[in-house]
Amino acid sequence: MRRIDRIFVHCTASSQKQTVQSLLTYFRVEKKWRYPGYHYVISPDGTVTQLLDEAYPCNGVKGYNATSISIAWIGGISNRRKSIDNRTDAQKDALVELLSRLRVKYPTAKIMGHRDISPDRNHNGVVDPWERVKDCPCFDAMVEYKDL
C-alpha cells in the first residue's frame, strides 16, 4: 500500500449538472490521462462514486499524487462561471462521512484543499487568497475538517 500523507478535497469546477460519466470522459479523452483526477467524486445527491482504487495514484495534485488521496464534489462554478461553494447538504454530509472513514484508514494524513498547495509567495506562513493558483475546493477544507 502507498504511504498517504495528504487527503485533498477538490471541486470539479463545473456545473452541478455534470455527470460522473462526463467527468471520466473528460479525463480519458480530453486530458488523455490513464488514471482519473480523483479517487472519489460526490454527486449533488450525496452519492459517492469511487473512480480509482486507493492503491493507485490519481491525477489530483501535480507533485503530490504518489502520496495522496483526492476527493472531489461536483460543482464549484456559478452560473456566471465564478468560483462558488455551492455544495448541497447531501454533498457536505457525504464529504464528512468519507473523510471520517479515510481519517481512520490514514490517521496521520493531513486533510486540505487543492488550493492549499499554492505557494506562499510572501512567506508569511499562510497561503493568502491572492496567492492561490486555484480556488478549488471553493471553501477552507483545512478549517472545516480540522476536527476529523
Q: What is the pLDDT of residues 75-123, one digit of tens each?
A: 999 888 888 999 999 999 999 999 999 999 999 999 999 988 876 778 8
**Domain assignment of residue 61, yes or no:** yes
**Domain assignment of residue 24, yes or no:** yes
* Domain tally, the chain: 1
**Domain assignment of residue 1, yes or no:** no
Residue whose cell numbers read 480519458: 28
Give the range of the structural domain holding residue 120, as residue numbers without chain letter.
6-144
**Domain assignment of residue 122, yes or no:** yes
**For residue 132, pLDDT beyond 70:** no
Q: In this predicted structure, what is the pLDDT of residue 1? A: 74
What Å distances lie between residue 127 and 106, 113, 123, 124, CA to CA? 25, 11, 9, 8
Cβ atoms of residues 29 and 131 within 8 Å? no
CATH assignment of the domain containing 84: 3.40.80.10
What Å distances lie between residue 51 and 56, 61, 115, 116, 147, CA to CA? 11, 16, 22, 23, 26
**Domain assignment of residue 115, yes or no:** yes
**Domain assignment of residue 20, yes or no:** yes
